[in-house]
Amino acid sequence: MSVLWLRHPLACWTGTGENADNGLVVRDNHIVELVAKGREPATAYDQAFDASNHVLFPGLINCHHHFYQTLTRAFPPALNKGLFDWLQTLYPVWMNLDDDAIYASTRLALAELLMSGCTTAADHHYVFSTLLPRAIDTQVSAAHSIGMRVTLTRGSMSLGKSAGGLPPDFLVETEASILSESRRLVDRYHDRRPESFCRIALAPCSPFSVTPDLMRESAQLAVEKDVLLHTHLGETEDENQFCLNRFNQRPVDYLDSVGWLNERVWLAHGIHFNDSEIQRLAGSGVGVCHCPSSNMLLGSGQCRAQEMRHAGVRLGLGVDGSASNDGSNMIQEARLAMLMQKLTYGAAGCSHLDALTMATSGGAALLQRPELGTLAKGQQADLALFRLEEPRFSGHGDPVAALLLCGAHRADFVMVGGRWKVKAGELIGNDIDRIIAEHTRAAQRLRDKAALLTSTKTH
């Protein structure tokens, strides 16, 4: 069993306030010691890594993504549209997704995240069809090939346009099929161990794409199987109005009525909550994932993230779908979260450490992974190291602050579970050029199919 001392970092932010100025010691998949300034490890080690040119901090945690959407980045027909119009433009494209596309997009998204310092990611896949009946199985295989920790959520859409929902009828499933598949995936892939690399959660897509019955039955299944629940909520004013028109309730009231106001739940976006709703979320233990890039690109609004944090809402960070971002870069997402919250609350309203906390221990709290998100004795050895030797960092005074203020975008070294997954900025065990080439071909096939469908309808 190898023991590694990451020694003499330029700076080390542990996320707990503990001193690790002289680095830390990793044995197998755990952190076994923090080394204070001027000290040597008390633990015997047989390897050392010179981190004197690196900023060291916990691996970032991405709590909301749609990996498949990397295939429709900067898609011309969907540009400059709000959420509902954007979705309706892309649904007919996504109906052509197949297993090869899911495999390629999952690998590309995870590789991109990993190279940005992210070690754990949650994906929300809700597009299923006759071409794609078991997309989550494909994602499990793809994630294993990259070597990142994932929480894969079995998403769903059961309320089609003919029944008053937003998605087209050809993309909705029966509720019996959704629940049966959800049960199968949990039984087959959900790993509850602290060192787990794969967990499953249940994720009906949104109030405008699933029925209240499916929300209730998913909540009951989550209790039975002891798994988490995830959905989009409070993302746009259109969604608020949809809930009022269809359910005669605002989204949080609707969530309560279907049994979703509890600590199993984390929500994506959470922009349009009022004061009393924020207090209800905090009191019930519901978490919220802030997705600043997507919210800005779609013009959805500004999340009251800092108010939620101060109220006691568990708050994490997510890049969201790469078709509404259009990237999968967690360190950049942390920067944008900091900037958006400063714009909302003033220059002193959100520090770089607040944003890093959202992206690390905040995310660990949302995904209920207390063994992740900080550098401390006994924690899983998930960490990232960044160099500050690019022109953008020249002249910095605070290395940790410089990561966000100066716009870091690529990690130099990344470790997941005690194993290096990125070295000198390059993926270990995977060929990034091949991943990009396979992904590019899959994206082109999807665009070609969409173009053919449009041409056929036109003629």
Give pLDDT tens digits for 96-138: 999 999 999 999 999 999 999 999 999 999 999 888 889 999 9
pLDDT tens for 176-205 read 999 999 999 999 999 999 999 999 999 999
- The overall average pLDDT reported for the chain is 96
What is the spatial distance between Cα 353 and Cα 17, in angstroms, rounded to a whole number? 11
- 130-134, 265-269, 337-341, 428-432: the lowest-pLDDT one: 130-134
pLDDT bracket for residue 324 (50, 70, 90): confident
289-308 in b/e burial notation, b at 16+ Cβ within 10 A? bbbbbbbbbbebebbbbbbb
SS3 state of residue 78: helix
Residue 458 has pLDDT above 70, yes or no: no
For residues 15 and 357, the answer to whether their CB atoms sit within 8 Å is yes
pLDDT bracket for residue 63 (50, 70, 90): very high
Q: How far is CA 10 from the centre of its chain?
A: 28
Domains delineated in the chain: 3-58+380-425 (2.30.40.10), 60-366 (3.20.20.140)
**What per-residue confidence (pLDDT) applies to 133?**
86
Residue 5 has pLDDT above 70, yes or no: yes
Residue 354 has pLDDT above 80, yes or no: yes
Share of the chain above pLDDT 90, in %: 95
Residue 390 has pLDDT above 80, yes or no: yes
Render 101-120 in DSSP notation, one character per residue. Answer: HHHHHHHHHHHHHHHTTEEE
pLDDT bracket for residue 232 (50, 70, 90): very high
